[in-house]
Amino acid sequence: MEIVVDASVLIAVIANETEKDKLVAITSSAELVAPLSVHWEIGNAFSAMLRRKRITLEQALQAVDIYLGIPIRFVEVELAESLNLADELNLYAYDAYLVRCAEKYRLPLLTLDARLAEMAKSKKVQVMEV
């Protein structure tokens, strides 16, 4: 089974958040798929944590090492279709890329972002609940 994952899922696992066990159980036998943008979202999330002094640089680099060990198949999504979705659903581009990815490859989306899940469902994308 293939599942589209977003940065919220990956960070929850890396940071040992409360949802980690459930997320690992859901994804353990799945192939993870994500638009290329997720790679950069991970970096942005850790840089934001650094700026807010929530983590040290050493912790951020350890987290990146863990992230790089997660097997993810990165795929392309069309920019124009994604921007149409961003406009239609009032989403940031990064969220639209995820909806477009799930839509294009006809895969379920796993996210911890309630608004993203709601918008994906409005486009008939299957959303996996945690």
Which residues neighbour 112 within 8 Å (Cβ) at sequence distance 6 or greater?
6, 8, 9, 12, 19, 130
Ranges of each domain in the chain: 2-128
Of the candidates 90, 105, 99, the one whose C-alpha atom is nearest the C-alpha of residue 124 is 99
Distances (CA, A) of 128 to 46, 111, 113, 116: 25, 7, 11, 12
Q: Structure pTM?
A: 0.93
Instruction: Give the pair of three-digit tokens for residue 66.
Output: 């863990």
Per-residue pLDDT of the chain (130 residues; tens, 9 = 90+): 999 999 999 999 999 999 999 999 999 999 999 999 999 999 999 999 999 999 999 999 999 999 999 999 999 999 999 999 999 999 999 999 999 999 999 999 999 999 999 999 999 999 998 8
- Phi first, then psi: give them for residue 100, nearest 5 degrees: -65, -40
Q: Which contiguous run of DSSP H or E holds residue 103?
A: helix 93-105
Overall CATH class of domain 2-128: alpha beta
pLDDT value for 41: 96
pLDDT value for 129: 84
DSSP label of 90? T
